[in-house]
Structure 1
């Protein structure tokens, strides 16, 4: 099987296994040639409370013309943290041009969790992420991000199954072809809800939650999901495998003393063989 080339457009943390630092080892382990374009350089995971961020928008603006001249192309592009509306406009335009040539676009609209935006994420990011969703073949916000993107209220207790379907339909109106909503309580059961445009089907995948917080678990989910999708596996199967991998990674590391740095993935990549 020939492996597919993927470009990661996401932030790069100097200290901690999140974003590009979490996704690169996983996708490389799958054997996919993986390239990266940092949307920001971040000193450390935001969970430490203090951090320094360098916005790389001007750098990105200069990269795309060079890549075009050199004839670089990718089978897939995965986007994550976007710093500003200006950056979103530049990246979404590039993704739209590449999608027209057959590149598959995956969008993780990283903005917040547990009902609130992350440190350093402004309300303007919501419009930026809507723009990114408009070019996505597949997007996968968590429940908090799905509420922000659709302007619907976040309820800590979660939603009913019909309300979850309504949230998926509202997200589809923004433009993505297929949609997942992660970390959403549905009738009291933590779940991933999904819509697959290939067979026009909705699905619910329940899971057991481990009451431990690590930054970067969404990025791990994204990388494992994409790794399987690039191997031409179905969306539902790929989603379940990503969920199971995240559960196993967390379970193996739940007693780690410093959880703010994320999960030390390199020691546990054989989890992906299960």
Structure 2
């Protein structure tokens, strides 16, 4: 039997709201991959709620890394999500050093809908660009892609040609694979991918119900990682991750639940087992 792959998953832990680690852990696990949480903060619920507690554990992240290093634990993938400070980005950069064998996946969580998060400074953006430059795969939304490249965000100019241009600019920074997520065109939503190694660009679409749910990006990227680590190709991974998000949203929409609680993906997890068993 092949050994179970390990993913060091660097993100926050929110008690309520299916996002970050509470999304990554079950998704990676059902895909047969060990999710090793590397928490950056602990929240009672994510920041989209009106009231929440927030415990920053930046200092603990340093000790956490040192403990892992002392045990010579090897990871097949290092996956970073939301990072709340320059220091946390530096910790991740330092963690990646010396782990050349690991697939490095960066979801550069910096903004959405053309607006940069108010916690992000220009120095943090610069450090994030450096983190992106040493990644193998990056998964920004359009806002984050424009922040990385310096392009002006224009939700009305999302032609294939424009997205390809932005994806190639990001790839030129270093990463081999760039996935730009959540491009909305009327009643459709698209995920675009560029693979520099083979010079291939492709897009996957699904219907868009004009609802925005927390945590879909975390679930999407976790599926991509799980499928890639199990030997599936990028096109297959993106298509099935897109389909899974769509089916989970369709299921969730039946219940008129609070969108801040994320999509009700739990009943759909069994589908990931079937997806993972099929090999092209």
TM-score computed with the length of structure 2 as normaliser: 0.90
Q: CA deviation at 1:169?
A: 1.5
2:278 equivalent in structure 1:
none
Q: Secondary structure at the match of 1:88?
A: helix
**8 Å contact 2:167–2:194 — kept in the other structure?**
yes
- Partners in 1 of 2:157 and 2:209 — Cα distance? 17
1:150 aligns with 2:163: no
- Partners in 2 of 1:62 and 1:71 — Cα distance? 14
- Partners in 2 of 1:188 and 1:247 — Cα distance? 13
Number of aligned pairs? Answer: 272
2:263 equivalent in structure 1:
263
Q: Given the superposition, is the C-alpha separation of residues 52 and 131 from structure 1 closer, same or farther in structure 2, using an over 3 Å criterion?
A: farther
| Cα RMSD for the two superposed structures | 2.0
Moved more, 134-143 or 63-72: 63-72
Q: CA deviation at 1:118?
A: 4.0
Structure 2: any 5+ residue segments left out of the alignment?
276-280
- Partners in 2 of 1:52 and 1:147 — Cα distance? 31
**8 Å contact 1:84–1:124 — kept in the other structure?**
no
Alignment of 1:1-274 (within 5 A): 2=2, 3-98=4-99, 100=100, 102-118=101-117, 120-185=119-184, 190-254=189-253, 255-272=255-272, 273=274
What does the per-residue CA deviation read over 1:38-83, in whole Å, with 9 as the maximum and x for residues that have no partner? Answer: 1121221222133333222211111222211111111111110111
Q: CA deviation at 1:34?
A: 1.5
Q: Secondary structure at the match of 2:156?
A: coil
Q: Given the superposition, is the C-alpha separation of residues 268 and 187 from structure 1 closer, same or farther in structure 2, using an over 3 Å criterion?
A: closer
Q: Secondary structure at the match of 2:97?
A: helix
**8 Å contact 2:188–2:208 — kept in the other structure?**
no
Q: CA deviation at 1:217?
A: 0.5
Q: Secondary structure at the match of 1:46?
A: coil
Structure 1: any 5+ residue segments left out of the alignment?
none
**8 Å contact 2:194–2:201 — kept in the other structure?**
yes
- Partners in 2 of 1:186 and 1:248 — Cα distance? 19
**8 Å contact 2:187–2:208 — kept in the other structure?**
no
- Partners in 1 of 2:188 and 2:249 — Cα distance? 19
**8 Å contact 2:249–2:264 — kept in the other structure?**
no
**8 Å contact 1:82–1:125 — kept in the other structure?**
no
- Partners in 2 of 1:243 and 1:146 — Cα distance? 19
- Partners in 2 of 1:134 and 1:258 — Cα distance? 37
**8 Å contact 2:108–2:128 — kept in the other structure?**
yes
**8 Å contact 1:158–1:186 — kept in the other structure?**
no
**8 Å contact 1:134–1:174 — kept in the other structure?**
yes
TM-score computed with the length of structure 1 as normaliser: 0.92
- Partners in 1 of 2:50 and 2:166 — Cα distance? 31
